[in-house]
Amino acid sequence: MIIAVDGPAASGKGTLASGLARHYRLPYLDTGLLYRAVGRAVEAYEDSEQFEERAIAAALTLDEGDIDPEFLLSAKIGTLASKVAVIGAVRRALFDYQRDFATQDNGAVLDGRDIGTTICPEADVKLFIQADSKARMERRARQLEARGQAVDRYALYHQIEERDARDMANPNGGFYKANDAHLLDTTLLDIEAALRAAIAIVDGTMARKAEASL
Ligand code: C5P
């Protein structure tokens, strides 16, 4: 079974996707980390003419060792990730890695922005997670604080809005809800309630598919 989980920054998709992976005993890939690793690799070139070329080179040579969440979860790296994510050649370079992960035996759970639309259009279950901007900011602030980082909530709110705007305008992205994705709004849900709702959607979808194939 392949489960695709998409949604905007700090919507709770990572927590839900990893919870689903544990529940169904499936391997899990946070695809945002790939873009973050490329963004981190070109941090020194952010304002340089070489930014694009360096980002493509970093995406082509990315390996497991670069994908360490410990160094990738800051808001600054999130912004850099969204800047490299608009480069078509970067997206193409990261495509095969994501595709291979998704199509391994027994299935997988992937979360990101374009999983249900581009990486795994054939996924068995697609979820699109949303939450309002203030709730997303507060969640991300608490995550960062739990990691010992000081947070300016006003600046973080604007960073999230700015990243959303860049993501929505991404000419090379597929950052929209796939037609066959289930919408789950987590604004008013805590983690447990959101996970229960997601599991109910996955179980219901798989049961309907099994029935239809009889
Ligand atoms: O999900 P996360 O916030 O870690 O993603 C960081 C950035 O990486 C996003 O804002 C987006 O620009 C990019 N991204 C992407 N496609 C994905 C996952 C993330 O373009 N599948």
Instruction: Report the nearest atom of ligand 1 relative to the CA of 13.
Output: 1
Q: Which run of H or of E encompasses 199?
A: helix 191-212
The domain in which residue 163 lies consists of: 2-212
Total residues found in the chain within this entry: 214
Radius of gyration of the chain (CA): 17
175-201 pLDDT per residue, tens: 889 999 999 999 999 999 999 999 999
pLDDT of residue 144: 87
Q: Give the pLDDT band of residue 73 (cuts 50, 70, 90).
A: confident
Which residue from 153, 193, 191 is spatially nearest to 11, judged by alpha carbons?
A: 191
Number of domains in the chain: 1
pLDDT score of 174 more than 80: no
Q: Which of 11, 82, 97 to mutate to test the pocket of ligand 1 (most atoms within 8 A of CB)?
A: 82
Mean of the per-residue pLDDT values of the chain:
94
76-117 pLDDT per residue, tens: 999 999 999 999 999 999 999 999 999 999 999 999 999 999
> pTM of this prediction?
0.94
Instruction: Look up the CATH number of the domain holding residue 206.
Output: 3.40.50.300
Gap from CA of 166 to ligand 1 centroid (Å): 11
**CB 31 near ligand 1, within 6 Å:** yes
Token digits of residue 43: 């941090």
Distance of CA 105 to the CA centre of its chain: 22
Q: Whose CA is closest to atom 1 on ligand 1?
A: 32
Angle made by CA atoms 151, 163, 197, in degrees to the nearest 5:
85
SS3 84: helix
